[in-house]
Structure 1
Amino acid sequence: MSEKTESLGLVGQLQLLVEKLFGQADRIPTVAFDVAMRVGIAMVFWQSARTKVEGALTLKQSTFFLFQYEYALPIVPHEIAAYMATYAEHFFPILIVFGFAARFGAAALLMMTLVIQIFVYPGAWATHLLWASLLLYIVARGAGVLSIDHLIKRRFA
């Protein structure tokens, strides 16, 4: 141990260790976080969508059953809700991943998350809070520089 680190005391030495371990984390480009958030949240909804269909976009009978008895939304008839949710879970994640109208796609999935939280699984707030946080970031900040939205903005701004 050097004379300098000895004079820091235990707290100072721990702080120095933390800075050495994590000091370079702020060098990770923001674009990496933007893409990771977009892909991560999109996959949650995409994977859910794929469990509801056979083939490309044919809804399974079990999907209608779930919407009628498990989800039981009070606002929309279960047949319509099944189609709306399934197609939304396919369409909006694609927008988010490519960063094309990403704020719109994220806002739509945020509304879906709120409906799920309020009417379907109110006890799953920890999961829905995580989803909402990622979606709110995209709504507030956009898709980032590695996106179609950014290219459009640069082209027409």
Structure 2
Amino acid sequence: MLHSQTRDARVSHSSLAKQGGVTALRAAVIERLSRALSPSLLLLVARFGIAATFFLSGRTKVTGLLTIKPSTFALFSSEYALPLIPPEIAAHLATYAEHLCPILLVLGLFTRSAALVLLGMTAVIEIFVYPDAWPTHLTWAGLLLPLIAHGAGKWSVDHLLGRSRTTD
């Protein structure tokens, strides 16, 4: 009986040591990742990720370089039908913003302004067009808000021009 209790204690102590080793390893990995993942890298990933989303959306609205498709005008007249803005103007504004703002984000130029425009578009889409798509829109906002709050980071034209405050 005593032998069995001793063996159980050893097994229990051994499993605790393994758990402690795993916890220490996990803490070391997280520490290294947090040093490697500088705020500027995270902002760069956010810039490229949200830029791709909006740019690809803009490309669906045009043929060639920037010729707006007739189907785009039809969508803005029916499905997107925004209050207060005529569909022809809304189609032009959205299409050009979905091309220009992502390019600015990729360059890291006028980042806060470009992100603010896209956040405004996201709010309009959420409120007036697709209110049930809030998980997608919340994801977009989650990428845009840090760009508005912190700017583009070190890897940007804004930083080269001295227009960016960075913390890393």
**In the alignment, residue 73 of structure 1 is paired with which amino acid?**
L
Residue 139 in 1 paired to residue 141 in 2? Answer: no
> 5+ residue gaps in structure 1?
none
Distance 1:10 1:118 in 2: 51
The count of residues paired between Structure 1 and Structure 2 equals 151
Aligned to 2:73: 64
Distance 2:35 2:159 in 1: 22
CA contact (8 A) 2:115 2:148 kept: yes
2:118 to 109, 123, 132: 109
CA deviation after TM superposition for structure 1 residue 22, in Å: 3.7
Residue 16 in 1 paired to residue 24 in 2? Answer: yes
1:6-56 residue CA offsets vs partner (Å, 9 max, x unmatched): 384575354234235544211224222121110100111000000000000
Identity across the alignment (%): 51
CA deviation after TM superposition for structure 1 residue 74, in Å: 1.2
**In the alignment, residue 39 of structure 1 is paired with which amino acid?**
F
**In the alignment, residue 57 of structure 1 is paired with which amino acid?**
L
Larger radius of gyration: 2
The CA RMSD measured in Å over matched residues stands at: 2.1
**In the alignment, residue 95 of structure 2 is paired with which amino acid?**
T
Aligned to 2:36: 28
Aligned to 2:58: 49
